[in-house]
Amino acid sequence: MPVLKFQNVSKVYDNVTKALTDVSFSVEEGEFVSVIGPSGSGKSTLLRCVNRLVDATQGSILLDGRDITRADKNEIRRIRKRTGMIFQHYNLVDRLSIIENVLHGRLGHKSALAGAVGHFTEREKEDAFRILAKLGLTEQAYKRCDELSGGQKQRVGIARSLMQEPRLILCDEPIASLDPSSAKVIMDHLSDINKTMNITCILNLHQVDVAMKYSKRIIGITLGRIVYDGPPERLSKSKIHEIYQSSEGELITDAGC
C-alpha cells in the first residue's frame, strides 16, 4: 500500500486561482521524491495539502490508505504529528533556544497543558539531545536560534521534524536560502534520514541538478499539472524545458555548470 496517494486532486484559491489541476500520483514507503517546477506552479500547495495546511478543493488524498481530505480536527492533529515539515525560511521560534525548538516536535504528542507550559519528559529530552548530536548541533543546544547560521537553522528544522517520529517528511524548498556547502550538508542529512530510518521524503526543489543527483524519482509540475513523473535518467533536456516552459539556452542548467 502506498504511503501517500493523490487521486485527481485540484485546488482553487478564492474561486479563481487554479493552483493544482487533476493531480494524481502515489508515493511508496521509503521513497525520496523531488518535485520541480517554476515558481507559482503549485509545488508548495501540493505539499501543504498533505498535512492539511491547505485544503484541497477536489479529489482525494490517501495517507496510509485513509482519505484525509475529510478529516476532522482530531484526525488532522493525528496526521500532522506523524508528518514532519521543513521550510525554506526554517520557521523556528528565533527567540527560543535550539533545544526548545527541537522539543516543539513533540507538541502534537502531548496534552494541551503540558505542551503549553513546556513540560517535557526526561525521555523526550534525551531523544532531543541524541538527534542534535546526530546533526552535529550538541554544542549549540542552549544557544538562541537567532545566533545560528542558515545551515544550522535548517538542521534545527530537521531535528524538530525528527522529534515527531515521522513516517513522512515534507520539505518545502529546504535549500533555497542556503549557500552551496550548507545546501550539501542539508541534502546529505535528508538523504541519510531517508536511507537509514526509512522515512519517506518529498522535497520541493528549484535546483534541477540537485534533484537529479539525490532522488530516484522526479515529479515535474507546470501550471498545477504533472507533466513528468519518473526517474532522473529519463528526464531529458527538452523535458526540463517543457516543465519550465522555456526554450533552449534560457535556463541556468543550460549554462553548463
Task: Please give the residue ranges that form the binding site for other proteins (CB under 8 A).
Answer: 51, 53, 77-81, 83-85, 87, 89, 91-96, 100, 104-105, 107-110, 112-113, 115-118, 157, 160-161, 164
Q: How far is the CB of 247 from other proteins (least distance, A)?
A: 22
Of the candidates 131, 106, 124, 127, the residue with the CA atom closest to the CA atom of residue 116: 106
| CA separation for the pair 81, 233 (Å, rounded) | 35
Provide the minimum distance between the beta carbon of 208 and other proteins in the complex, in angstroms, as a whole number.
26
Q: For residue 94, what are the CA distances in angstroms to 43, 89, 100, 219?
A: 26, 11, 10, 33
- DSSP letter for 164, please: T
Cβ contacts of residue 20 below 8 Å, gap of 6+? 9, 10, 11, 42, 45, 46, 49, 56, 224
In total, the chain counts a number of residues equal to 257
DSSP state at residue 226: E
Q: What cell was used for 108?
A: 502534537
- Tracing cell 516543539 back to the chain, one arrives at 104
Which CB, 95 or 123, lies closer to other proteins? Answer: 95
Q: Which residue, 166 or 224, is less far from other proteins as judged by CB? A: 166
Which CB atom, from 45 or from 164, has the smaller least distance to other proteins? 164
| Closer residue to other proteins (CB): 11 or 217 | 11
Quick one: which of 131, 196, 198, 202 has its CA closest to 169? Answer: 202
How far apart CA 158 and CA 249 sit, in angstroms, is 36
Question: To the nearest whole angstrom, how small is the minimum distance from the Cβ of residue 227 to other proteins?
Answer: 28
Give the nearer residue to other proteins in terms of CB position, either 53 or 227: 53
Cβ atoms of 54 and 45 within 8 Å: the answer is yes
Using CA atoms in the order 111, 112, 116, 117, what is the torsion angle rounded to 10 degrees? -50
Q: At what angle do helices 150-163 and 180-197 cross, to 10 degrees?
A: 20
Minimal distance, residue 93 CB to other proteins, in Å? 5
Closer by beta carbon to other proteins, 70 or else 95: 95
The minimum distance between CB 239 and other proteins, in angstroms, equals: 32
CB of 22 to other proteins, least distance (A): 26
Strand partners, 172: 204
Minimum gap (Å) between residue 104 Cβ and other proteins: 6
Q: Closer to other proteins by CB, 54 or 227: give it.
A: 54
